[in-house]
Amino acid sequence: MKGITLRSPGGLERLKLTEMPDPGTPGPGEIRVRVHASSLNYHDYGVVSGRMPTADGRIPMSDGAGVVEAVGEGVTDYSVGDHVVSCFFPGWHEGPPTVSDFSTTPGDGVDGYARQVVVRPATWFTQAPKGFSHAEAATLTTAGLTAWRALVVNGGLKAGDVVLVLGTGGVSIFALQIAKAMGATVIATSSSDQKLERVRALGADHTINYRQHEDWGIRARDWTGGRGIDHVIEVGGPGTLAQSIAAVRVGGHIALIGVLTGRAGEVPTGALMAKQARLQGLIVGSRSQQMVFVYALEATGLRPVIDRSFGLVEIADAFRYEESGAHFGKICLEF
């Protein structure tokens, strides 16, 4: 079978198409999955670019979706032909967070899904939403579940809440869709007027070009009549956090899920304290949360926004496209 390996020390030019041995038949508790799609995330880019070092020869990509080809002894949750999607933290099944690193994350601490076939424990997957393409299902593992956990699991989102999403990447677009499906109001930011037009078409109630308005957080707050935002989907990190704090309402919720502007920086702690807001970091979610998310997708009819798909051999080009920032929603690999 074919797959992609990453040679140390990383870099897009060090992604290589490789002939790999077939993983064989599944053992007890395992399933064999023909992988058909993956999706690109900022975390995956950190690994393949070498910014987040991993083992030499690592198979990248944390997201994988495909079809069950065989089941091992004792597996009752899956049958041959089922469409499944992988979990970001294979060992975190339910309950509060149990992991604080990526040592068990496919495509980072262990081999990932940039390959045609895997044999893994059945608990490393959930069912994919009925009617989803493999590419659509592959967007759920990281980006979709992150948005779901931020708004619904941690945030307790309810109809009438106001949500602020930063940018138009995978997590932010999912958050916009989830919020609108649950009856919330959404404010979206981007540096592109064209992208802002697209988020309005998806239901965004108000948009702000942050290149034109550096005080976008204050403007978002003012748009609410001064009350402020209930939930901020903070993907930027230190470079955007001050404006997110300015935007959030007293007692509101900021979900810190990204570090696009850096891993460390000054936090206006006085302003955060005065707002009595909750700043909560999170990394994706558990298997049980993913299962509930899948049920919600089936109930609401929400479908992921996929900007563009690439073939497996085009993986470096796919990441270059992600680097460009031109995408809107998710970028996928299909193979």
263: pLDDT strictly greater than 90: no
Residue 251 gets the label, from left (phi > 0), alpha (psi -120 to 50) or beta, of left
Rounded average pLDDT over 279-306: 98
Residue with tokens 């309950």: 95
H or E stretch covering 292: helix 287-300
Amino acid at 86: S
> 298-301 long-range contacts, Cβ below 8 Å, gap at least 24?
298/129, 298/130, 298/131, 300/181
pLDDT at 187: 98
Measured CA to CA, the distance from residue 9 to residue 296 in angstroms comes to 40
Rounded average pLDDT over 234-259: 95
pLDDT at 216: 98
Measured CA to CA, the distance from residue 105 to residue 90 in angstroms comes to 7
pLDDT at 173: 98
Question: Are 50 and 10 a contacting pair, CB within 8 Å?
Answer: yes
The mean-pLDDT minimum among 60-74, 136-150, 218-232, 261-275 falls in 261-275
199: pLDDT strictly greater than 90: yes
Q: Domain 155-281 belongs to what topology? A: Rossmann fold (3.40.50)
* Helix/strand/coil percentages in the chain, nearest 5: 30, 25, 45
CATH 3.90.180.10: which residues of the chain?
2-142+285-334
Rounded average pLDDT over 232-255: 96
pLDDT at 264: 77
CATH 3.40.50.720: which residues of the chain?
155-281
pLDDT at 191: 97
pLDDT at 265: 77
| Pick among 3.40.50.11540, 3.40.50.2000, 3.90.180.10, 3.30.70.520: CATH of 2-142+285-334 | 3.90.180.10
Rounded average pLDDT over 261-284: 91
Measured CA to CA, the distance from residue 41 to residue 102 in angstroms comes to 14
- pLDDT tens track for 14-49: 999 999 999 999 999 999 999 999 999 999 999 999
The mean-pLDDT minimum among 28-32, 43-47, 237-241, 249-253 falls in 237-241
8: pLDDT strictly greater than 80: yes
Average pLDDT of the chain?
97
Q: Write the CB contacts of 59 (distance below 8 Å, at least 6 apart in sequence).
A: 3, 4, 5, 6, 107, 111, 112, 113, 114, 115
**The dihedral sign for the CA sequence 18, 21, 22, 27:** negative
Task: Record the pTM.
Answer: 0.96
pLDDT at 99: 95
- pLDDT tens track for 168-183: 999 999 999 999 999 9
Percent of the chain at pLDDT above 90? 96
Residue with tokens 């049958």: 79
DSSP string, 303-316: ---EEEEE-GGGHH
Coil, strand or helix: which one is 136? helix
Q: Write the CB contacts of 224 (distance below 8 Å, at least 6 apart in sequence).
A: 162, 249
261: pLDDT strictly greater than 80: no
- pLDDT tens track for 83-139: 999 999 999 999 999 999 999 999 999 999 999 999 999 999 999 999 999 999 999
**The dihedral sign for the CA sequence 202, 208, 209, 215:** negative
pLDDT band at 195 (very low <50, low <70, confident <90, very high): very high
